[in-house]
Amino acid sequence: MKSRSSSLSSISDLFRPNNPRKLRSKDLSYTRLSVLKKEIETDTHLIPLKDLYAILGTDPVNGLSNEKAKELLDYYGPNTLTPPSHFTWSRLLFKSLCTGFSILIWLGALLCLSAYVIELSTKLDPSPDNLYLGCVLIAVDLICGMFSFIQNYKSSKIMKTFNSMIPIYTTCLRDGVLNRETQVQDLVRGDIVYVEIGDIIPADIRIIDSKGFKVDNSSLTGECVAVPRSNTDGSDNILESPNVAFFSALCVEGWAKGVVLCCGDLTALGRVAGLAARLQPAPSPLSIEIKRFMRCMSTWALLLGIFIASASITLGYPFIQTTIFVIGIIVANIPEGLQPTITASLTLTAKSMVQRKCLVKNLEAIEALGACTTICSDKTGTLTENKMSVRHIWTWNKYYSVLDKDFLTWNSLKICGALCNNASVVKDGVVRGDASEKAILNFLYNCCDPVTIRERYPKVAEIPFNSANKYQISIHLDKMSSTNLLVMKGAPEYILSRCVTVAFHNKSINMTDDIKEAAYKATENLANTGERILAFADCDLDSNIYPLNYPFDSENVNFPIDKLRFLGLFGLKDPPREEVRSAIERVREAGVRVMMVTGDHPATARAIASEVGIATTRSCHVVTGTELRNMSPDLLYLTLEKHYEIVFARTSPTQKLQIVEACQRQGGVVAVTGDGVNDAPALRRADIGISMGIAGSQVSKQTADIILMDDNFATIVTGIEEGRKIFDNLKKSVCYILISNVPEILPVLMFILFSIPLPLGVMTILCVDLGTDMWPAVSLSHEQTEQDVMARPPRTSDPLVSGRMLCLVYLHLGLIEFCAGMFAYFIVMAEHGFYPSQLFGIRQQWDSEAVSDVQDSLGQEWTYAERKELERACQAAYFVAVVISQMMNGIICKTRFNSLFHVGMKNNVLNMGLIFEFSLACIVCYVPGINTFFRTYPLRLKWWFLALPFAVLMFVFDEFRKYCIRREMFGGWFNNLTLY
C-alpha cells in the first residue's frame, strides 16, 4: 500500500514545472505520456482518514498553514493543466507545407527554378517558362498546405477546451480561516475545501463530511446520472469509489467537505487532458497511400533521370544541357494537379456531408471512414436516445408496459412517484433534475398532474439518497386528511427488505416469501432487458404518534423507515434509436466490426447491444473494466481475435485508449464515437474520431475529426458509404490525371533522344496539369456510388495507385494519347514542309539563334523566328490533341468496369467540366497575350480534328476492355492487367 502512495509522489515529481529530471522537452513529454497511459494506482481513497491526514500533513479542522501551502505550490506548481510542448505556429506551418505529396511538388519547384538559373547564366535570352512553372508549383503547395495547417493549428488548442472546465474560485480552509475567494490554481494537496450545489469540484477530493451530496460525473464517465458521494468505504477502482469527487465534476445536490488528493495534471481530468493533448493521431489511410505513391513516383523519376543523363552524355550533350534535360524530365513526371485535385475532391465531399448532418473537420477523415474496419461505439446518446424514460411497471404479480392504462388506478404508486422525486418543473413545463427522476415525472404527466399532487402533499422532511443506504425518503403532509405520509424510493433489494405489506387491488396484504421472490424475479427480468429498476414504498404515519407539528429529524431518524407497504417497481431505460439496428446491419454487411465501449453497467450494456444488433448471439463476450485492468496488451489482443462480438463495460478513459490501440495493432482502421471528456484520448488516437454534435462536450468536439450534428449512429453508415465512394472516385481522378503524364513525358524523351524540335513546352504542360485537367478531375468525385460499394469488405490491400492502374495509364491509354499528340505535331510540321524523316537530328540547328537558313524537306529556308513560330503552332496542335484525348479520358474514367452506355452521362459537373476544358483550350490558343504566355498559336480549324480518330480508338478500346473484364474473357487477362 505504501509503495503505491510513494509511487504517486514520484509521479508528482515528474510533473513538477521545473523539469526536475532535466529531460529534453521531447523526452519529458514522451515520459509523461507513458505515465498517463497507465491506470491510476493509489490507496489514498482506501486508507483511514487519520492516516491520510498524516501523509498529506494536513488537519481537518484548521487545514494547511499558509506557509506550507505556499511551499507546496512553489514546489509542485499551480493547480492547472500544463499544455504539452507543441510546435510554434511557424514550425507547425512549415511541417504542414512539407509533408506528403507536397515534398515532391517542392522538389519540382526547386528544380524548375534551378533550371531557370542555369539558363539565365548560360543564355543571353533565357526562356522564363521554368520560372513561371516553379512559381505556380510554389503557389499550389502553399494553398494546399494551408488546409493542413489550419486543421493542425485547431487541434493544438485542445488543452484550452479542458481549461475552460476549471472553476476560478473555491472555498478553502487554511490556518483555521475559511476563505471563499481562494483561487483554484492556488490549491495544493492536503487543502481542505468546501463544495455546495452549483459548484464545480476544484480538484480530486476525498469526502470528509457531506449531506445529500451528489455530483454529475458525466465529464469523466460519460453517464449523465447524478451519483452520490459521502464519507464511506472506498472501492478498489478509484474512478468508481463513492468517497471521491473528481476535478471538473458538478455538484448537483447537497454539500460536502473534502481533502484535496491530487491537483492539476495528476487529477483524473488532468490525465485525460494530458493524454488527449500528447497523443499523436494515427496517419490516415489516404496519407499513407499518398506517401507510398510519392515514393514510387520519386523512384521512377530518379531512374528516368539517370537514364536520360546517361543517354545525353553518351550522345555528346554538354553537362549544363544534360542537367536541364534531367530537371525537365523529373518535373514532367510530377503530376502537379494531383494534390489540388485530392484537396478539392475531399472538400466537395465534406460540403455534401454537412447536408447529411455530418460535419467533417479533418478532410482525410471522410476517406478514412470508408476504409474503416472497426467501430468502437459509445452507448449513451449514440446508440441510444440519451433520454431516460419509464418502460415497464410491475406491481404485485403483474407487468404493465407504458402503453397500458390499467395501472393508472394505482393512486398510491403515482403519488409516491411524484413526491419521492427531486426533479423540478420550470417554465413551459420543462422538467429539470436527475435523469431518472425526470423520466418518472415526465411519465406521470401522461396520467396525472404531479404539480397538483405536490401542492396537496407539501414536503416536511427528507433523507436524500446516498450510496450506503441506496434509498431516498421524504415525508409529506396530506392537507386533506391532516396526516403525514412517508414515501420511499430506491434499490429493490433495500426497499423490499423494509416492507411487510404489499398494495394489491386498492388494499394491503401481508408480504410473503413468495411475493418477495416474485418481486426479485421481476427485478432480474427487467434488469436483463437493460432497464434500471427503482422500487417504491409508502407508509401512513399514525397522527397520534406523529402529529402535524412533529419535529422530524433526518439526521437522528425519529420516524419509521421499515414496516412499510410495497407499491411496485419502475423499469427505466434509455431506449435505443429506432434506426440504429438497421444501420448496424448495413455496416456489418460492409464487413465492418462494431463493438460497444461504454462506462455503463455490464448487464445494461449487453442488453442494449442485443437490442441494436451488436450482440446477435448469446456468445457475445462482455469484458468489464476490472477484467481489462488485469489484462496484458497481448491478452487483450488475443481476446479481440477470439471474440468477434464483444462489449466493453465500466471502462475508464485509459482503457478506451488501450482498446483502440489493440484494434489498430490488428492492422485495422478504427473509428471511435464518443461525447464525453473521458472519450477524448480514444478520439484523438483513433484513425477516425467521431463526436456528437448535440450531447458532445466541447472537448470531444475539439478532439474529433468528424462531428455528427444529429448524434445518430446511422449517419456513420452514410459516412462509410461516402468514404468508399470518394476513394473509388479518387482512383478515377488519379487515373485521369496520370494518363496525361505519358504525353507530357515522352515528347521530352523524343526531344532528348532523337533531337527533334520540342513537341510540348513547359507552359503547355502547366496548362494541362493545372488548367484543362483540373475541373474534369475534380468533377469525377461527383460520380454516383457504385452498387456494390457497401457489399464489399473494407479495403486493406487496395492501393490508391496500383500496378494495374499504371499499366493501363502508361501502356494503354497514355500511349494512344501520346500517338494522337505526335500525329498532330508531325502533320502540322509536314504541312509547312518539314517531313518526319527530316525532323530527327535537327534540334541543334533548330534551337540555334545563329542559324537562320534551316532548310525543310521542300528546300525552303527558315529563320530562327520563323522556326519558333512554327514550333508554337506544333506545340499548340499537340496541346489540343492532348485536350481532345483527355476529354475522352474523362468520359472513360467515369467507370472502372461498367459500360458507359449503362452509366450514362448523368454527372452534370463532369459535363460542364468537359465544356470548360474545351473552352479553356480555345482561350489558350486564340486570345492574344494568353497564347503568347503559354507559347501557343491560333490553330486552323482542321487541326482540331486530328486527334478525333485516336479519341474514338481510346473509347472503343476501353469499352472492349471493360466488356472483357465483366465477362472475364481471355482467362481474366484484362482483369489481372488493368482492373484498378
Q: DSSP labels for 746-809?
A: HHHHHHHHS-PPPSS-HHHHHHIIIIITHHHHHHGGGSPPPTTTTTSPPPSS--SS-HHHHHHI
Extract the runs of DSSP E, i.e. beta strands, from 283-345: none
CB atoms inside a 10 Å sphere around CB 721: 18
- Contacts (Cβ under 8 Å, ≥6 apart) of 937: 869, 872, 873, 875, 876, 925, 931
End-to-end CA distance of the chain: 61
The three-state secondary structure class of 693 is: coil
Per the annotation, the verdict on 378 as an active-site residue is yes
Altogether, the residues listed in the chain come to a count of: 980
Q: How far apart are CA 500 and CA 508, in angstroms?
A: 10
**Cα torsion through 128, 134, 136, 138, rounded to 10:** -150
Q: Strand 471-478 and strand 670-674: pairing? A: unpaired
| 31 CB-side CA count, 13 A | 16
Q: Strand 374-377 and strand 358-360: pairing? A: unpaired
Rg of the chain in Å (alpha carbons): 37
C-beta of residue 511 within 8 angstroms of C-beta of residue 502: yes
Residue 497 CA: distances (Å) to CA of 488, 494, 506, 838? 12, 5, 22, 109
- In the numeric block, which cell numbers belong to residue 703? 478532439
Burial class (CB in 10 A: 0-12, 13-18, 19+), 227: buried
Q: Which is catalytic among the residues 216, 378, 538, 711? A: 378
Residue 330 CA: distances (Å) to CA of 105, 327, 524, 818, 843? 11, 5, 73, 18, 21
Q: How far apart are CA 858 and CA 838, in angstroms?
A: 11
Residue 485 φ/ψ, nearest 5 degrees: -120, 130
Say which residue the cell 520519386 belongs to: 298
CB atoms inside a 10 Å sphere around CB 804: 16
Alpha helices in 832-899 (DSSP H): 836-839, 843-846, 864-892
Q: How far apart are CA 898 and CA 850, in angstroms?
A: 56
The three-state secondary structure class of 241 is: coil
C-beta of residue 740 within 8 angstroms of C-beta of residue 769: yes
Residue 461 CA: distances (Å) to CA of 147, 419, 437, 485? 61, 12, 18, 11
Say which residue the cell 487515373 belongs to: 735
The three-state secondary structure class of 299 is: helix
C-beta of residue 535 within 8 angstroms of C-beta of residue 491: yes
Which amino acid, residue 425?
A: V
Say which residue the cell 489482443 belongs to: 637
Residue 785 CA: distances (Å) to CA of 780, 788, 902? 11, 8, 14
Active-site annotation, residues: 378
